[in-house]
Amino acid sequence: MSNKTDLLHKDRDAAKKSGGWSRFFGPVEKPSTTPIDNSHLAQMARAFEDSGRGWFWSTDGNLSLTYVSDSVCGTLGRERHEVIGQPFESLFRAERRADTSSKRTLPFQLRTKSKFSNLELLAATDDVECWWSISGRPEFDKAGNLLGYKGSGLDVTYNRQSHDEASRLSESDTLTGLASRYRITRRLEAALTAYKVAKRSCALMIIDLDRFKQINDTLGHQAGDEVLKQASQRLMRVVSKDWEVGRLGGDEFQVIMPDIDDRGELGDAARKIISMISQPYTVDGVRCVIGASIGMAVAPFDGITSEELTRSADLALYAAKNDGRGRYRFYSSDLHDKAEDRRQLEDDLRDALDRGEISLVYQPVVKAGTNMISGFEALMRWDHPEKGPISPNVFIPIAEDANIIAGLGEWALRQACEDASKWKGNARVAVNVSPIQFANTELSTLVASALSNSGLTPDRLELEITESVFLGENADTDNVFATLKKLGVRLALDDFGTGYSSLGYLKTAPFDKIKIDQSFVRGATESGNRNAAIITAIVSLAKALDMETTAEGIETLDTLDLIRKLEVSHVQGYVYSRPLFNAEIAERLERGDLEIMPTGHEVHRNDRKTLFRKIGVIHEDHRYDVMMRNLSKSGVRIEGLIDVPIGTEFVVDFGEGQLAVATVRRSNDTSQGLQFEIPLISDGSDGLCTRHRVSPYVLAAAGMPLAALPSGHYPLVGNEFAGKHDGKPKSMPRFGQVDKGDALLRVA
């Protein structure tokens, strides 16, 4: 048999096996007028397949494979029967982090049933790297139901690898024009080697864009590239000219800042960068918003080699992201523990619902004019078996990142509807919906099911949505709004004013209520505070759009007075009530007791951190252990020393090389108020830190090995300040110390 006949036989066999070529190309109903008929097409297709460069695929309406060319099975090292019937996406490897490759858009294209071409994806091979360029076209029946996809793939491994190699070695990043990863990494290595000899410091900043993936997923790869370009230009505009900026890949950037160790200066730079990058972008006439999180580390304090310093900056970035994004963080050694804690929490959270640790509490929402309850907001609680109650501000973002929010959110929605359906009367229930749940087109189906299972009427259910659902807004967002409205549920815009700088979406999104965030309420009564003016503006905006307003977080009677004067229609806050258990409100509603009187005395502040930890204060030749509390930028209150005169100067040792000179301004019994000579600065999170630290170069000069600052304080620092010579103190301690156990009791 000649090769040619052999090929034709093979053709027939393959066509038979896979249901025939006509199945793939579709039946040819009319005889073709061109000389190429179906069998020619089949032969050409087969030759193309056999060349090994290209292949074909098709799926059914559920996106399960109904056909792939043999070469695909060969490349993946799987049998045909192991491939057919599997999801189309299983042909590709999961997304690689530092790569903005088009894999990100494949699920989106499939979900939106759109046509796509030339998506470059990594084949799901075990060992060798193989890149495919994929195209596909959906087919629908007359009613618009998806019948399946048909498409082709090309092997582009060679092009891709040589491109990768070229860009890896190239000095500048082709998309943004910034230094490439290759260059910036080499620059950092070179700088740190030279600076170590010259005893110079060098700061490293790693910037990661927030919500960039959403832009890529919703607006497409090209729009993503455009945003990256614009963000890079903005970055270049804010940084100082002797800093070097590079793109590490994906949406990650790096800035090398020579001769800076002042964390005040670094914090200012980080704030400026975050605010510049967070301004809206316009891409092809579409407005979109991203943010930035920043991690910073300074050599030699946080690392000597480029590897060490990069690891420290990375860890700080991770912490900044976990703190809620749009923030910066400096490296500190306790971040290692925090990262570990978070991983542990994430693990625990996965089973928390099954173990019955998750519950709902309900906080009354009250009409400001009449003190009558109009509804309740359902708030999730997690009672951790060892750690106790964990704030939703901590566990909800973890659930969102770890893909467990959908399950928790569904449970909350069903439970809240179930509870509210048993309440006497018409009080509404509001349920928080994460933007991640909102991005799922199944949300309206879930809401409908929760309503019908519980029997709750739709107008008694209010969904609270935050502004971030409008980031990278697309047609889907409008559709979800429309279907939810059709169900008859109410929609509230939560945390208004905290995230998004455009008001445009208010014109079209059908909200019934705007919830004014606590941050606008806080301080509104203080003279000179502009929050009252902002609230007035929000109220008139809401009135013009025929929406209600709820002020969140009202704690005191004077704020309540102000809120009423500003004509906010509803109030939610401790001034009326904390969140309550379902049994408590069910009983209250049973009595028909809807009026609730504000009380301003009890101010609960669950979220305020009680700050007491051990620090050192150094005076003359001595170092004393004291308890710290009420730390502010300008001063600290300490407990543990007796009879310290006003005017005494101390060096406060916060650990990790952070020393601050301070003077005693107030003193009574065992507690002193100290004022810092140089105020502390924000660490980007809720904490404070000193601008400068003891340099490892200084420590090295005094005999310690040159290394990044360890945690805690150092014997050497103690010696240097406490003047221990030959192991003997020079003078007697000046102040008496309270017994440590006693001090702890007093502070707690």
Q: Which one of 2, 5, 33, 393 is in contact with ligand C2E (CB under 6 A)?
A: 393
- Is 494 a binding residue for Mg ion by CB under 5 A? The answer is yes
- The tokens 């024009």 sit on which residue? 177
Element (H, E) at 624: strand 622-629
Of 230 and 519, nearer to ligand C2E (C-beta) is 519
Of 224 and 573, nearer to ligand C2E (C-beta) is 573
Of 226 and 464, nearer to Mg ion (C-beta) is 464
At its nearest, how many Å lie between ligand C2E and the CB of residue 552? 6
Q: Which one of 54, 300, 326, 573 is in contact with ligand C2E (CB under 6 A)?
A: 573
Q: Which one of 58, 71, 415, 434 is in contact with ligand C2E (CB under 6 A)?
A: 434
At 382, is the secondary structure helix, strand, or coil?
strand
Single out the segment in contact with ligand C2E by CB under 6 A; choices: 107-115, 568-576, 707-715, 739-747.
Answer: 568-576
**What Rg, from alpha-carbon coordinates, does the chain have?**
32
Give the tokens for residue 137.
């076209």
Give the dihedral sign, CA 507/509/515/519: negative
What distance in Å separates the CA atoms of residue 654 and residue 261, rounded to the nearest whole number?
17
Distances 244 to 247, 248, 551 between C-alpha atoms, Å: 10, 12, 45
Element (H, E) at 646: none
What distance in Å separates the CA atoms of residue 91 and residue 447, rounded to the nearest whole number?
34
Q: Which one of 61, 392, 673, 687 is in contact with ligand C2E (CB under 6 A)?
A: 392
| Ranges within 539-558 binding Mg ion (CB under 5 A) | 552
> Shortest CA distance to 587 belongs to which of 375, 360, 422, 462?
422
- Is 467 a binding residue for ligand C2E by CB under 6 A? The answer is no
Structure letter (DSSP) for residue 53: S
Q: Which one of 210, 251, 495, 653 is in contact with Mg ion (CB under 5 A)?
A: 495
Is the omega angle on the peptide bond into residue 300 within 30 degrees of 0, that is, cis? yes
Single out the segment in contact with ligand C2E by CB under 6 A; choices: 98-106, 211-219, 347-355, 547-555.
Answer: 547-555
What count of other Cβ atoms lies within 10 Å of the Cβ of residue 75? 21
What distance in Å separates the CA atoms of residue 287 and residue 303, rounded to the nearest whole number?
40
Single out the segment in contact with ligand C2E by CB under 6 A; choices: 220-228, 261-269, 388-396, 609-617.
Answer: 388-396
Of 221 and 515, nearer to Mg ion (C-beta) is 515
| Ranges within 421-460 binding Mg ion (CB under 5 A) | 432
Half-sphere exposure of residue 634, counting CA atoms within 13 Å on the CB side?
2
Size of the site for ligand C2E (CB under 6 A): 24
E strand map for 542-657: 548-552, 570-572, 613-619, 622-629, 635-639, 641-642, 649-655
Greatest Cα pair distance, the chain, in angstroms, is 109
> Shortest CA distance to 189 belongs to which of 310, 44, 352?
310
Of 4 and 605, nearer to ligand C2E (C-beta) is 605
At its nearest, how many Å lie between Mg ion and the CB of residue 432? 5
What distance in Å separates the CA atoms of residue 461 and residue 451, rounded to the nearest whole number?
8
286 binds, among ligand C2E, Mg ion, none (CB under 5 to 8 A by kind): none
At its nearest, how many Å lie between Mg ion and the CB of residue 356? 24
At its nearest, how many Å lie between ligand C2E and the CB of residue 492? 9
Single out the segment in contact with ligand C2E by CB under 6 A; choices: 188-196, 391-399, 667-675, 693-701.
Answer: 391-399
According to DSSP, the β-strands at 635-639 and 116-122 are unpaired
- Is 462 a binding residue for Mg ion by CB under 5 A? The answer is no
At its nearest, how many Å lie between Mg ion and the CB of residue 183? 45
- Is 261 a binding residue for Mg ion by CB under 5 A? The answer is no
- Is 464 a binding residue for Mg ion by CB under 5 A? The answer is yes
At its nearest, how many Å lie between ligand C2E and the CB of residue 496? 10
Give the tokens for residue 57.
């695929």
- Which residue ranges make up the site for ligand C2E (CB under 6 A)? 363, 379-380, 391-393, 396, 409, 412, 432, 434, 464, 494-495, 552-555, 572-574, 579, 605, 607
- Which residue ranges make up the site for Mg ion (CB under 5 A)? 432, 464, 494-495, 552
